[in-house]
Structure 1
């Protein structure tokens, strides 16, 4: 299944041209910055959603979008998600996201990445980047040559390395909390779990699930990853076209976003959805409600996949300690339970309840700052 990452904002699926200023106004973005460099082929977009709680932080994603407009909308959509992810996790950072438009296999180079680093530096610390899709820790080394506003660096440079391990642990905690809400127990033994995407986060999640004797089904566009999951953890390999329709207890989307939409939700045969992908709902109001109406317990993605931003924020502020980070990521279980119980009590969908919680903290801190 091909997923277009920009489809997660409602405006992107209406069929009309999307005006970036309209999206910014509707969702409260502070800034959209674009950079073009002919010599390296760099076309970069940085969306800054909020700096109320601190500098806007979020990774850089490189993708060969169908259009430049899709890249702009993706930066706006993802930066908003980062704001909520940081706020609901109690972090003192805001939300931002960078998008590099182009084919990583063809145009990414040292000069390209260093030019992007100079672009980040020009924002004077308002935005802090890290790795994301198609941006490795090695790529971050080049970016770091031009700016100090980068985190998620390799351990050889004093960084914490990949944040995927912390992210996967947080997602695992979120799955257990959602299972507790749906089944009355957070034990996953003999539960059928469909994991869509077995990259760094998905693969580690499969390891956690297999250790708990869950029956795991996996899909991915990369055949070698599937073979590893099968050989190392006994996972059942399923095609990308059929992973959503499996009669599983839990569906864990860990690839790109927008897999929960008008076409896919009617196919679902699960009781729980919790995974590492960002912006899983193609239209958050509509599809959050659709899941609720079908009796599916949905753990909001920006809540359960917050382990990564916890790790890179700790590194950036000089407070990186792996044991402490795992303890913070473990709190995702309690945070998730709070959202699920409140949503059940209010008879509202979990996405809206989680957003309300995040916005409540942002408003409270904003008012605090005004009184100082």
Structure 2
């Protein structure tokens, strides 16, 4: 959505999105896209059972799915506004980039650029807005890093990353990177790396009163009202 705003393309409503790979991230992504009233989602995967599962979960005539083999590059050349790589890495390279018709690339796959310098530059010169994968995937890293502090339902420390009111949210950071990329004529991946390098020297914040948050979350879930389970420990 931040990339759409950057390009003055409005909202997701009425847009067409091509999704490569249908897995644990792409499935809720597709659900989210239809909640935002996209015009169409085209999704592919190499596994037939995955295609069947997504059709069972999402019953929408505007969802087109098809099976591909590992050498099938057809998803890159689909007419769409946004291309979302959600499968394997290294898929943006000198062979696939010329095929892309989308104006925006924003997906969950790790290490999407085969060569981070070369391919970031090629996308930039072609006028395709690339949202760096480690930015779109940020919550995965944050969740893993914060796991040691205990689980809290609707965790405010996670929700802040999705809030547009937070200066450092994913949305606002994306806009910051894309605007700096435009003003400095630097590919967005390089801008993001520079920001990430700077932030890597900052100390991790100390979360005060985390224990109370966890207890409040457990009470709110009414866990204490659930029926007792007769646990049998094997001897």
Q: TM-score, normalised by structure 2?
A: 0.75
Gaps of 5+ in 2: 164-168, 204-235
Aligned match of 1:199: 23
Question: Following TM superposition, by how much is the alpha carbon of 1:328 offset from its aligned partner in structure 2, in angstroms?
Answer: 2.2
Corresponding residue of 1:312: 144
Structure 1 residue 178: Cα displacement: 1.2
Residue 131 of structure 2 contacts residue 188 of structure 2 at CA under 8 Å; is this kept in 1?
yes
* 1:361 shift after superposition: 2.0
C-alpha spacing 1:224/1:260, structure 2 compared with 1 (3 Å): same
Which residue is equivalent to 2:34? 210
Number of aligned residue pairs: 190
Instruction: Please say if 1:237 is aligned against 2:65.
Output: yes
Alignment partners' CA distance in 2, 1:212 and 1:252: 16
Distance 1:321 1:314 in 2: 13
For structure 1, which runs of at least 5 residues remain unmatched after alignment? 1-175, 366-372
Moved more, 354-363 or 320-329: 320-329
Change (3 A) 1:279 1:315: same
> By how many angstroms is 1:363 displaced?
4.0
Instruction: Map 1:244-255 to 2 at 5 A.
Output: 244-255=76-87
2-structure distance, mates of 1:341, 1:288: 16
Q: Which residue, out of 19, 23, 48, partners 1:223?
A: 48
2:186 aligned partner: 348
* Greater C-alpha Rg: 2
| Match runs of 1:34-45 below 5 Å | none
How far the C-alpha of 1:318 sits from its partner, in A, is: 2.8
Does the CA-based 8 Å contact 2:51-2:67 persist in structure 1?
Answer: no
Do the aligned partners of residues 308 and 264 (structure 1) sit closer, same or farther apart at CA in structure 2, a change above 3 Å counting?
Answer: same
Q: Secondary structure at the match of 2:114?
A: coil
CA distance in 1, matches of 2:199, 2:75: 37
The normalised TM-score by structure 1 is 0.49
- The CA distance in 1 between the partners of 2:80 and 2:64, in whole Å, is 12
Provide the rounded CA distance (Å) in 1 between the counterparts of 2:153 and 2:142. Answer: 11
State the Cα RMSD in Å.
Answer: 1.8
